Each structure stands twice: as structure tokens, then as C-alpha cells.
Structure 1
Amino acid sequence: MTGNLHSWIGRKRRIADEMATPLVRRMAALTDRADVALDRGAPVPNHWLSILFDDAAPQSQLGPDGHPAKGDFLPPVPLPRRMLGGRRVTYHAPPRVGDTLERETEIAAITPKVGRSGAMIFLLLRHTITGPNGLVAVEEQDIAYLEAKRNAPAPKEAPAVVPNAAWREPWAPDPVMLFRFSALAFNGHRIHYDADYARDVEGYPALVVNGSVSTLFLFEAALRHTPGAQVRRYDARTMQPVFCGRRATLCGDPPDAEGRSTLWVEDEAGAMALRIGATITP
């Protein structure tokens, strides 16, 4: 199934974007931040880079799920569903208001697997982001492609062991939050705003909270517990979806002497849905 896909490994694409004032202002509104300066040249929280570098594919080139159709830059993976399985990011310098940034994306690997819900193909994307003063960040993303939802339920995986949290904050992602983030990032993936599609086509019980939204609000909570710090690097793994309108909890441990901490999101049943190992320092 992946024989012809391996020729896509090594392909690269460059895209430029600007950390424009309106984007920073809207992100501050979404996260209830009043402490982020909007002056040109002011530093922006590292982890806010997630709002940049949208695909902005023409409307005529979108697939039925709202993503750009496969076969242009992304390979024509013969599986219909996709999700972000994990990411690893290292920040080298803060983006600044008004900076023009460039991202080079490389298809680094394509790996078939069989999971509890059937066949899967993992696509590893490596992003290198540069700005006026050099390297800003390096990110690797694991994109999981999945089979169509089957009528028979997938066998349940044992829940991840949840550690004791030093702090916990209730979190209630709602449709307005998902809409505002998707609009800000120009993310057309329908599972995040089209409840009928998410339920009837992809088999989810409700809207799926973007992994980037869960990561964003988890870091915002962590930074409230470490004032004056910045996220320097992190390794995130999606364990299971978080659903809109259902209770969730943002959890974490304080950084150790080197700034390392474990952060996670618990779903309404108390199971770990997203786990992040992060380095957070001043």
C-alpha cells in the first residue's frame, strides 16, 4: 500500500508568513491574555507559532474533509481519515510582531502500521522556521492516516497511567473556542466545526478539539504557574481525542531544576488524552 508513496520522501516546500499585529491581537483575545505587547518588534510567546503557515489552498482544491486534497504536496495516502498523532518542537528565538518568517517543510518519512482501529500510515513532516535573525524553531509532526470508521467499535486500549498533578485547572472547550482558533489558523478540517460531518462521516460522538488547541491552552495554564517563563521545547503525544462540550482538565507538574515538566490533559473520565514533556524556563 505504501510502495508508490516512498517516492514522496524528501520532498520540500517553502511558505512565508507574517506574525502580523491582527493575528497576535486575536490570539491574545482567544487566550484571555492582556500582557502581550502589540508594538512592532515586541516578542510573541513561542508557542503561538501554531497560528502561522496555513495551507490556504484554493477552495476548489479542498478534499471532502476540508483539508487540502492529497496528491499536491502531501502524498496520496489511500486512507480517508487523518489526525495529528504527536509533535516535537524546539524554539531557538521568539517570533516578534511584524516579523516575516519562512517555513521549509520536508516529508521525512512514511511508515505503515496496524493499530487497534485497523491500518494506519504515519507521515513525518519536519518544519524548519527561520526569521530575520536566523533560526526560530524546528518542529516534527506525526500525521496519522486512518481507515474509514467501521460500525464495529474498536477494541479499547487500557487508559494511560495518570500521574499526580501539582496543579489542575478545569477546562471546557466549546464550539466558539474551536471556531475562533480554526478561523485564526485558517484550518478547514471539518471535524473541528461541522458536528454532523464529525459524527456521521468520521464516527466521532461530537466535535473534536484540535490538538493544537489542547496544546495551546495547556501551555497557557502552565505559564500561569511559572510567570515570566517561556516554552523552550516540547514533545507531545495524542493519546485519544478530546471532545467539544465535555469536561476536561489541564494538569501539570512544576518544572524541575532544568525547567523540565510533564503536562497533560485529562478527559471527562479522568483518562490522559494528551501528554507533553516540556522544558519551560525564563
Structure 2
Amino acid sequence: MTLDIDHLRGWIGREDSAAETVTPELVHRFNATLDRQGDTAPGAVAPLLIHFCLGQPAAPTAGLGEDGHPARGGFLPPVPLPRRMWAGGGFTFHDDIRVGERVTRRSRILDVTVKEGRSGVLCFVTVEHRVDSDGRAVLTERQDIVYRAAETGGAKAPATPPAAAPAGAQSRRITASAPLLFRYSALTFNGHRIHYDTPYAREVEGYPGLIIHGPLQATLLAHLAADTRGARPARFSFRSLSPIFDTADFTINAEPDGDALKLWTARIGGPVAMEARAEW
């Protein structure tokens, strides 16, 4: 497929904003979903990356596409490729979000590029989010979104299966349950059906099961980093290498890398799915 890149690059510079209050109830549901404990009283430090749950687009149900995403061509460019995934991103943390504060996200399209990958044409959209909490700058985020064509004839297995990822010095096993994925989709108001609709994921998009959200994996790794060092990092970046599904449990792992931490997720017995780095 040939993309009209000049038309799509017309979206560069487009802006959007949204705001929402961090309520004790939201923090309680967030912690319950991830099996964490934490203070939910007003003024307490909110969990790391809870901003993924705030100010998300709320398109009418009738305005959703077959995949559950809002119709394209609003803030994000109308890329005519059917598969959309979160490829990676990065954060610079300036301060903490606190329970009871009003969080404002200001977003801007930074770039739109087209590349040729092993699976065909890929379109990458880079978005910058600047997040304030009660008027204080708390984080700057880069979000990398990739669009690609649908698989034809089923995904091809590699000639040599990739090596299983090692366990880190810190390693936790996560049960990839349908309730976990459904709850996280609900928290982030993410209608993408690959995360909660097994028949759709298998029969329409050709996956073996439900896909573990990229932001969920990033959140679990960021929490592992903060738990390991006892403080939130100053910078955190991540990149998705391959999807992981609810057909098996997966692990989150951390390994010292100088003053930083190298982190990754992997299906049990599988290769690295997401790699990340945290710096203080």
C-alpha cells in the first residue's frame, strides 16, 4: 500500500488537551487491578504512570471502528493501515502527581514517518505529552505509535526460535489473566478489542490470544524499578520488541546497569517482549 505521507505529515503540530482529577477511588481501583497497596488519601503520592488513566478520549460508542478504536482523523492522523500498536516511549519525571489534584495533559504531534519493515509498510507517529498536576509540571512523555498492515496467510514462524529471556536479579511472575487485561482496559478507557475480546483477537486479527497492553507492561516495569531503588526514576524509556499474549504467564525483570536499571518483560520460556531502562 502507498501512503500519502505529505497528507499525513499535515498533522504534525496538531495539539490536543484534556484534564481530570485524581480521585481516591481511581487510585484504589488502579492499585486493586495491579495487586498493589498504597495510600489513597488526598495529598498522598499517586502511583507511577497513573496518568495513563486520566483524560483519555471518550468517543461515542457509535463512533468506534471495528477494532474498538475511535474513528481516525481527529487528533491522530488518518493512517490507512488497520493494525495500530504502541511501539514504545519515554518519560522524564519532574515531580509527583498527588491524590486530589487536577491533572492536565497537553499533547502535540511531533512527527509522522513511513518505513518499510519485514511485515511491509509501517507508519510511525510520534506524540509528545506534557503533564501538569495542579499547575506543576510533573512529567514529559514521548509516545511512539506504529501502524501496519494486517497479516496475510497467518504470521510466519521464525526459522530459528528466539532464545528464552533470562531472569533478572529482580524477577516477578505475572498471571496474564483476562480480568487483569479487561480491568486495565477499563481504567484507561481503551476500547481496543485485542486486549479483552478473545474471538476478535483470534479470528479477525489472527493472534493466538489477548495481547498484554504495552502501557501495562511499561507500568509494571516502572513500578518494579521504583520498588527496587526505593524512589521513582528521573527518566524511564521502553521499547516493544514482540507481543505477549494471555496464553501463558509472563515475568517482569530488572538488572543493574551501572547507576541505572535494565528492565524487560518476557513470556515464560519466551524471548524479551519489552525492554526498558530507568535512570535516577
TM-score by length of 2: 0.92
Aligned residue in 2 for 1:84:
86
Partner secondary structure for residue 49 of structure 2: helix
Aligned residue in 1 for 2:16:
13
Residues in 1 aligned to 2:78 and 2:219: alpha-carbon distance in whole angstroms: 30
Residues in 2 aligned to 1:254 and 1:154: alpha-carbon distance in whole angstroms: 35
Q: Is the 8 A contact 2:208 2:247 kept in 1?
A: no
Matched, 1:179 2:182: yes
Moved more, 45-54 or 198-207: 45-54
Q: Trace 1:124-273 onto structure 2 (pairs within 5 A).
A: 124-154=126-156, 156=158, 159=162, 162=165, 165-226=168-229, 228-254=230-256, 256-257=258-259, 260-273=260-273
Q: Is the 8 A contact 2:93 2:138 kept in 1?
A: yes
Structure 1 position 160, deviation (Å): 7.9
Residues in 1 aligned to 2:49 and 2:267: alpha-carbon distance in whole angstroms: 22
Residues in 1 aligned to 2:125 and 2:225: alpha-carbon distance in whole angstroms: 29
Residues in 2 aligned to 1:210 and 1:16: alpha-carbon distance in whole angstroms: 23
Which digits, 9 at most, give the CA deviation of each residue in 1:20-52, with x for residues without a partner?
A: 111101111112222x21111111133222222
Aligned residue in 1 for 2:54:
52
Q: Is the 8 A contact 2:127 2:142 kept in 1?
A: yes
Give the root-mean-square deviation of aligned CA atoms.
2.0
Q: Is the 8 A contact 1:175 1:245 kept in 2?
A: no
Distance 1:206 1:163, change over 3 A: closer
Residues in 2 aligned to 1:212 and 1:84: alpha-carbon distance in whole angstroms: 8
**Paired amino acid for 2:277:** G
Distance 1:3 1:24, change over 3 A: same
Structure 1 position 98, deviation (Å): 0.9
Q: Is the 8 A contact 1:46 1:91 kept in 2?
A: no
Structure 1 position 3, deviation (Å): 2.2
Moved more, 153-162 or 212-221: 153-162
Q: Is the 8 A contact 1:223 1:230 kept in 2?
A: yes
Structure 1 position 155, deviation (Å): 6.5
Matched, 1:276 2:276: yes
Q: Is the 8 A contact 1:103 1:128 kept in 2?
A: yes
Distance 1:165 1:197, change over 3 A: same
Matched, 1:105 2:81: no
Q: Is the 8 A contact 1:117 1:154 kept in 2?
A: no
Residues in 2 aligned to 1:42 and 1:113: alpha-carbon distance in whole angstroms: 44
Which digits, 9 at most, give the CA deviation of each residue in 1:5-27, with x for residues without a partner?
A: 11111100111111111110111
Structure 1 position 112, deviation (Å): 0.3
Q: Trace 1:29-40 onto structure 2 (pairs within 5 A).
A: 29-34=32-37, 36-40=38-42
Percent pairwise identity: 38
Residues in 2 aligned to 1:244 and 1:152: alpha-carbon distance in whole angstroms: 19
Which digits, 9 at most, give the CA deviation of each residue in 1:75-100, with x for residues without a partner?
A: 11010110000011111111010111
TM-score by length of 1: 0.91
Residues in 1 aligned to 2:107 and 2:231: alpha-carbon distance in whole angstroms: 28
Residues in 2 aligned to 1:152 and 1:209: alpha-carbon distance in whole angstroms: 20
Q: Please, which runs of 5 or more residues in structure 2 have no aligned partner?
A: none
Moved more, 115-124 or 156-165: 156-165
**Paired amino acid for 1:178:** L
Structure 1 position 161, deviation (Å): 9.0
**Paired amino acid for 2:221:** L
Residues in 1 aligned to 2:126 and 2:159: alpha-carbon distance in whole angstroms: 24
Residues in 2 aligned to 1:267 and 1:204: alpha-carbon distance in whole angstroms: 15
